[in-house]
């Protein structure tokens, strides 16, 4: 049975002004599913989180996609082709730094199986895998995440999913407190129709004394209490954005860049040793692997209405990070130091 998790808005903290989706998660975008596989045994405290953008075979029916790297201290796979071709052709998987290769291989196996069932000859593939370094809590050299865990996460994927120290967030630390997986969504109205934009984060960044919640520099007081040793802003955050807005990949990249506003509101200054990476996709259309026409149709948002999208993604990112923290239980580092949860101080 899924455990009830109290999220940041239930502590009386309201982020932004735009309306939230039904679940206030990335899965408010129709068709999107999220699954985890969590490893918690001995020194292995890590996992994998998979975001499935929609039904069917993504390789044969791709989605418009884009990415933006704010600070590139990261080992993410697949962004080069996403930016060149503007398409996503596999689920997006998040894991720890040393497991990127094994998770990449698992996504290849998963897509090969799908294509074999569909009678499609697969000769090239661009899996997208993001990572954060969870080595303070997890014995990362054990490389505990592989094909079995990735397939389990895919099998477990659904519209409702847990947040906090689960999946790829099991061993992460955010602003010196326990980090993890968090999500939020916003709805916007364009031409009389409601659209949804959702964000999922794997939070593992920030300096404790800089943490700002609801406009209050909460972390400064916590740092004085020596609750965590975060001398620098480092560690990385993965941000995945989903939307049903019809937009070009150029517009999608513009939207992604505003995830940075949400991080800045929380006090992050994007330190040298941190990787802030944003990946986004639109479910508004599918791009066939072998189209039967030369010219493909594409709708775009009017540029004069982009501000609504920018506000939506900034608000959702800020709230997603806070949800990742308050939904996470306290943890313990390999050196024995306790990593507290933000919810202990709200």
Catalytic residue, candidates 203, 236, 260, 341: 236
DSSP E strands in the chain: the ranges are 33-41, 44-52, 61-72, 87-88, 92-96, 128-132, 173-174, 177-178, 181-190, 193-203, 237-243, 275-282, 287-288, 331-332, 338-339
C-alpha 315, offset from chain centre: 15
Distance CA 48, CA 54 (A): 19
Nearest to 325 by CA among 346, 296, 297: 346
Catalytic residue, candidates 274, 282, 324, 341: 274
SS in 3 state form for 226-288? Answer: CCCCCCCCCCCEEEEEEECCCCCHHHHHHHHHCHHHHHHHCCCCCCCCCEEEEEEEECCCCEE
Nearest to 322 by CA among 243, 258, 268: 268
Active-site annotation holds for 318: no
Active-site annotation holds for 274: yes
Catalytic residue, candidates 89, 276, 315, 318: 276
Q: Please check whether residue 198 is in contact with residue 26, taking contact to mean a CB–CB distance below 8 angstroms.
A: yes
Phi, psi dihedrals of residue 209, rounded to the nearest 5°: -65, -15
Question: Which residues 6+ apart lie within 8 Å of 86 measured at CB?
Answer: 64, 65, 66, 249
Distance CA 346, CA 341 (A): 10
Where does residue 21 fall: left (phi above 0), alpha (psi -120 to 50 degrees), or beta otherwise?
A: beta
Which residues are marked as active site? 236, 274, 276
């Amino acid at each position: 049975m899924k455990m009830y998790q109290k999220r940041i808005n239930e502590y009386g903290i309201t982020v932004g002004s735009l309306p939230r989706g039904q679940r206030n998660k990335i899965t408010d975008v129709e068709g999107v599913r999220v699954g985890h596989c969590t490893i918690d045994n001995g020194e292995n405290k890590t996992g994998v989180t998979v975001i499935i953008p929609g039904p069917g075979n993504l390789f044969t029916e791709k989605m418009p996609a884009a990415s933006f790297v704010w600070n590139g201290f990261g080992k993410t796979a697949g962004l080069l082709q996403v930016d060149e071709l503007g398409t996503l052709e596999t689920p997006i998987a998040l894991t720890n730094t040393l497991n990127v290769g094994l998770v990449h291989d698992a996504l290849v196996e998963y897509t090969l199986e799908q294509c074999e069932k569909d009678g499609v000859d697969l000769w090239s593939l661009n899996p997208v895998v993001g990572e954060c370094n969870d080595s303070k809590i997890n014995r990362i050299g054990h490389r505990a995440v592989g094909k079995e865990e990735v397939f389990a996460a895919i099998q477990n994927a659904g519209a409702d999913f847990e947040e906090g120290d689960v999946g790829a967030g099991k061993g992460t630390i955010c602003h010196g407190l326990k980090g993890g997986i968090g999500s939020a969504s916003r709805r916007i109205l364009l031409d009389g129709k409601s659209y949804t934009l959702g964000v999922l984060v794997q939070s593992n960044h920030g300096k404790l004394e800089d943490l700002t919640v609801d406009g209050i520099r909460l972390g400064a007081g916590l740092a004085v209490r020596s609750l965590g040793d975060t001398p620098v802003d480092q560690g990385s955050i993965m941000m995945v954005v989903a939307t049903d807005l019809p937009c070009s990949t150029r517009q999608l990249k513009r939207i992604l860049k505003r995830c940075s506003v949400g991080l800045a509101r929380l006090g992050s200054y994007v330190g040298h040793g941190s990787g802030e990476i944003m990946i986004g996709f639109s479910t508004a259309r599918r791009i066939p692997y072998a189209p039967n026409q030369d010219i493909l149709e594409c709708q775009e948002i009017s540029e004069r209405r982009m501000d609504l999208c920018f506000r939506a993604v900034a608000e959702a990112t800020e709230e997603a990070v806070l949800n990742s923290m308050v939904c996470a239980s306290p943890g313990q580092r390999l050196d024995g130091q306790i990593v507290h949860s933000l919810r202990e101080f709200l």
